[in-house]
Amino acid sequence: MKFPKIYNDWFSEYADLYSDQKAVVTESIELTYQQLSNLIDERAKTLTEESINQYDIVGLFAEHTYQFIVDFLAVWKISGVVLPINTKLANDEIDRQIKFTGCKLIDDFKIGKNSSPITKPAALIMFTSGSTGDNKAVVHTFNSLFASTISIDNEIHLEKNKKWLASLPFYRIGGFQIIIRSLLTGGTLYIPQNVSTEKIIDGVNRYKPDYISLVNATYRSLLQTSINELKNTKAIFIGGGPVDSSLLKEGLSNGLPVYKVYGSTETGSMISILKPEDAVMKIDSAGKSLPGVKLKIEHDEILISSDSLFSGYYKNDSLTKEKLIKGWYKTGDVGVIDNDGFLFIKGRKDNIIISGGEKIDPNEIESAIKKIDYIKEAVVLGIPDEKWGQKICAVFVGSTKIDVSEIQEKLKEILPSYKIPKMIKQIEKIPVDEMGKINLIELQSLFN
């Protein structure tokens, strides 16, 4: 497939090419490529009048609406840098991200006064889903964002003028790249009201998309409710965390074009793919690298080289130098590559929990729990779960008996709902080994 020249106003070229074709569809509006382009032009003019300038970082609350698409393409048109803001975050964390990036905030069409223009080429700054106080903001260029779609197309040959479902949040790289893939292939992006399982099921039944990206939990629900509607899809991409092999087998046995994928914010979304024809023999694999992607294992860690790689972490040169070495990204994931070139993910070098496609740092939750009166110690861990990939569980040591529901209610005041532990247990002491390290295996057994 031929793609446009890579530059900030690439969509104008596509508006001319696909003028009268549908670009975006929601429950309340349909926009052709030309109509979307007109809205972008109007918005860009407004932003310029409101002192949004070239290289400004512009914060956009990433609501699941067509307006987000208008806004970020308008920011790009005037050579600004887009910062999608996760609307599920607690206010304190949103404030931290705004202050850290120095972005100009667009909130309800009001332009914030904060300003800290970026000094290096950039199109997108996106906080990783595991980010807390470490300011892990990933910087992508137009080249890296486009390279991701190009490599996917080179592997499975994306078709033009097809239907894509906006099935992941726009403030995550997987959801953001769905927009890019749809528009770069002249497709129509169907946007459900939100990305709840209920709305995704409704979107599949109503719009019958050709391409859809899912996390394990949503995929499981669709197998139970909408398997017939999925049979006519061109590709179902499953990723965002651990994928249940039995569910993969179920989909394949029912003739679904299921592709297990692996990637991250830093890699611009997927960089490896397990195709249906390979899944028979390699069901537990994350597949082979996409064209243009190189993989290698060093000290059990997966390293990636690709044109889709991020350029660095914003305002964090030390972490950038630690993670990006001579064109190779150190993922922090432990894995092996077999003799046939298939990648197998064994786990994380750190202890990030991936639940329902969200990367969650247990340290943040532990800190929040320990702020509650009478709690002395706390450990948060991920327990394997068929629905969510991992579910968040916690144990704590308290100076008195504490009601678990009270802890959960207090946590809701400072953490988004997806970070609240599903199960919490009070124990007498935290088990440690002879080196003083926490015995996670013993703690996991409390929840199995």
Go through the chain and tell me how many residues it has. Answer: 448
Q: Which of 347, 365, 396 is the last residue of a domain?
A: 347
Instruction: Looking at the structure, tell me whether residues 45 and 181 fall in a common domain.
Output: yes
Please tell me the total count of domains within the chain.
Answer: 2
Instruction: Looking at the structure, tell me whether residues 332 and 371 fall in a common domain.
Output: no
What's the pLDDT score for residue 138? 97
Q: Does a structural domain hold residue 1?
A: no
Q: Which of 296, 315, 347 is the last residue of a domain?
A: 347
Instruction: Looking at the structure, tell me whether residues 206 and 316 fall in a common domain.
Output: yes
Instruction: Looking at the structure, tell me whether residues 332 and 360 fall in a common domain.
Output: no
Cα–Cα dist 85/70, whole Å: 15
Q: Does a structural domain hold residue 367?
A: yes
Cα–Cα dist 287/341, whole Å: 8
Q: Does a structural domain hold residue 3?
A: no
**For position 261, which CATH number holds?**
3.40.50.12780
Cα–Cα dist 100/428, whole Å: 40
* Contact predicate 62/47, CB 8 Å: no
| Whether the model pTM is above 0.85 | no
Instruction: Looking at the structure, tell me whether residues 30 and 132 fall in a common domain.
Output: yes
What's the pLDDT score for residue 241? 74
**For position 390, which CATH number holds?**
3.30.300.30
Q: Does a structural domain hold residue 402?
A: yes
Q: C-alpha dihedral over 273, 274, 278, 280, to 10 degrees?
A: 180
What's the pLDDT score for residue 132? 38
Instruction: Looking at the structure, tell me whether residues 334 and 360 fall in a common domain.
Output: no
Contacts (Cβ under 8 Å, ≥6 apart) of 430? 377, 379, 395, 397, 438, 443
Cα–Cα dist 397/374, whole Å: 9
Q: Does a structural domain hold residue 40?
A: yes
Instruction: Looking at the structure, tell me whether residues 304 and 227 fall in a common domain.
Output: yes
Contacts (Cβ under 8 Å, ≥6 apart) of 6? 142, 143, 146
Instruction: Looking at the structure, tell me whether residues 186 and 253 fall in a common domain.
Output: yes
What's the pLDDT score for residue 124? 98
- What is the domain range of residue 440? 353-445
What's the pLDDT score for residue 427? 96
Instruction: Looking at the structure, tell me whether residues 343 and 360 fall in a common domain.
Output: no
* Contact predicate 374/365, CB 8 Å: no
Instruction: Looking at the structure, tell me whether residues 363 and 391 fall in a common domain.
Output: yes
What's the pLDDT score for residue 272? 98
What's the pLDDT score for residue 349? 74
Beta-bridged to residue 359, according to DSSP, are 354
Instruction: Looking at the structure, tell me whether residues 285 and 394 fall in a common domain.
Output: no
What's the pLDDT score for residue 109? 46
Instruction: Looking at the structure, tell me whether residues 211 and 134 fall in a common domain.
Output: yes
Q: Which of 308, 326, 347 is the last residue of a domain?
A: 347
What's the pLDDT score for residue 113? 57
Q: Does a structural domain hold residue 58?
A: yes
360-414 pLDDT tens trace: 888 789 989 999 999 988 999 999 988 889 999 999 999 999 999 999 999 999 9
Q: Does a structural domain hold residue 2?
A: no
Q: Does a structural domain hold residue 235?
A: yes
Please list the rounded mean pLDDT of every run of 10 residues in the chain (448 residues). 84 94 97 98 94 93 96 97 91 90 75 66 87 71 96 97 96 96 97 94 96 91 93 94 86 96 96 97 96 95 97 95 97 93 84 85 89 92 89 94 93 93 94 62 88
Break the chain down into helix, strand, coil percent, rounded to 5.
35, 30, 40
Tokens of 397: 């040591």
